[in-house]
Amino acid sequence: MDITIRTARPEEYAEAGELVARAYLDDGLLDFGALDPYLATLRDAATRAEQAELLVAVDESGALLGTVTFTRPDGPYAERAREGEGEFRMLAVREAARGRGVGEYLVTACVERARELGLRGLVLSTQHMMHAAHRLYERLGFVRTPERDWQPLEGITLWTYALRL
């Protein structure tokens, strides 16, 4: 399967947002399930495209396989990025496309974008139970940075990983 990573087009925003929301729901990543207030943020791909860089993975037919949001350190979507670091968030791959390298292609595109911008690092936040994602990040050279772990809400601790470029 040929996979292309590119900037999302406006006509794809709704589908990209729903893909992320569905992945988070189906994977049990939202503490309040379908009532979680974070769902609105996940679905709002149009704002991410406007305020950050919304990347998509598509197959040869143009079908949307996955998406990720890349942000610069001073962007409104940066949560853990320090000066000189990029950050990626909301990585999601459609259930039917998992196991085909889509997530790796998307993360690699973020690494390449950070390098293009002359950034010295790339960071991300993840949940502790996302073992497959952790393996992917570590395989790509990211290391755990527990000193940067944080709590977006009381009782929810997100792990951080960083890659030096």
pLDDT at 112: 98
* pLDDT attached to residue 37: 86
Question: What percentage of the chain exceeds 90 in pLDDT?
Answer: 88
Task: Enumerate the β-bridge partners of residue 71.
Answer: 87
- How do strand 64-71 and strand 150-153 relate by DSSP bridges? unpaired
Domain boundaries, the chain: 3-164
Query: How far is Cα 8 from Cα 136, in angstroms, rounded to an integer?
Result: 23
pLDDT for res 122 = 99
What's the rounded Cα separation, in Å, for the pair 57 and 7? 9
Domain 3-164 has CATH 3.40.630.30: yes
The predicted-structure confidence for 18-47, as pLDDT tens digits, reads as follows 999 999 999 988 877 788 889 999 999 999
Res 111: pLDDT: 99
Task: Count how many Cα atoms sit within 13 Å of the Cα of residue 22 in the half-sphere of its side chain.
Answer: 13
Q: What is the pLDDT of residues 108-152, one digit of tens each?
A: 999 999 999 999 999 999 999 899 999 999 999 999 999 999 998
Greatest alpha-carbon pair distance for the chain in Å reads: 43
Q: How far apart are CA 72 and CA 88, in angstroms?
A: 9
**What integer is the mean pLDDT of 148-159?**
91
**Residue 156 reports pLDDT greater than 90:** no
Q: 53-89, pLDDT tens digit by residue?
A: 999 999 999 999 999 999 999 999 999 999 999 999 9
pLDDT at position 35, please?
84
Residue 67: how many CB atoms within 10 A of its CB? Answer: 29
Report how far residue 60's alpha carbon sits from residue 1's, in angstroms, rounded to the nearest whole number: 7
**pLDDT score of 33:** 78
Return the H-helix or E-strand segment holding 151.
strand 150-153
- pLDDT at res. 159: 97
Query: In b/e form, how buried is each residue of 12-25, taking b as 16+ CB within 10 angstroms?
Result: bbebbbebbbbbbe
**8 A C-beta contact, residue 161 and residue 126:** yes
